[in-house]
Amino acid sequence: MPSATPSASSSKAAAKAARAAPVRIENAWVRAAPPGTDMLAGYMDVRNVGNRALRLVAADSDAFGLVELHRSLMSGGMSSMRPAGAQDIPAGGSLQIHAGGLHWMLMEPRHDLKVGDAVAFTLHFADGSVARAVARVAQQAPASTGTSNQVCPGHRSGMINGSTGCVGAAIQPLQ
Ligand SMILES: [Cu+2]
């Protein structure tokens, strides 16, 4: 029979499945922070491997109650940040969510995270498609990103050490 017959084994997944967005998530990581920290930051590259533009509108994570895309800004030597809003990713393009530019602001953590932990994200696009991403908790960006902490606002000296580096600097304007 040529009719569509979803496999029985995937019925549960199918019931909640949204269409997979044609993206490749690379270099996903969450900056480690001391226990009790109430806001963390996450980074990744979102590469559009499809043939149409995508619009990234939101993300969520089992590990956090609220996830927002923020942009860091430097003004008069002070770092601040604001919600970045939806981001267009052209076909073949890559949205870089890197320290010093965009970051996922990870709020309302449901439990402490330590270096090496995996954090799952679901990215949502304007066309209703979604992408799953798994980020590792780490002290600094994976070497393969080619970006280092030296672009971290508030740390122009490049002297980033320890867990609070960019996150601590970025959190202050909200408080
Ligand atoms: Cu932020």
Residue pair 147/141 in contact by the 8 Å Cβ criterion: yes
Q: How far is the CA of 42 from the centre of ligand 1 (A)?
A: 9
- Give the CATH number of the domain where residue 135 resides: 2.60.40.1890
Q: How far is the CA of 98 from the centre of ligand 1 (A)?
A: 12
- Residue 1 maps to a domain: no
- How far is the C-alpha of 164 from the C-alpha of 37, rounded, in Å? 9
Supply the range of the domain harboring residue 101.
17-174
> Residues within 5 Å of ion ligand 1 by Cβ?
70, 81, 105
- Residue 38 maps to a domain: yes
- Residue 6 maps to a domain: no
**pTM score, whole prediction:** 0.74
**In this structure, is the dihedral angle defined by the CA atoms of residues 24, 27, 31 and 32, taken in order, positive or negative?**
positive
Q: How far is the CA of 170 from the centre of ligand 1 (A)?
A: 6
Tally the domains of the chain: 1
pLDDT-above-70 percentage for the chain: 72
| Mean pLDDT estimate for the chain | 81
Provide the pLDDT for residue 15.
44
- How far is the C-alpha of 33 from the C-alpha of 30, rounded, in Å? 9
- Residue 7 maps to a domain: no
Render pLDDT for 34-53 as a digit per residue (tens, 0 to 9): 999 999 999 999 999 999 99
Residue pair 80/20 in contact by the 8 Å Cβ criterion: no
Provide the pLDDT for residue 144.
61
DSSP state of 20: B
Q: Please indicate whether residue 174 or residue 11 has the higher confidence score (pLDDT).
A: 11
Residue 142 scores a pLDDT above 80: yes
The residue to which tokens 């330590």 are assigned: 114
Residue 14 scores a pLDDT above 60: no
- Residue 9 maps to a domain: no
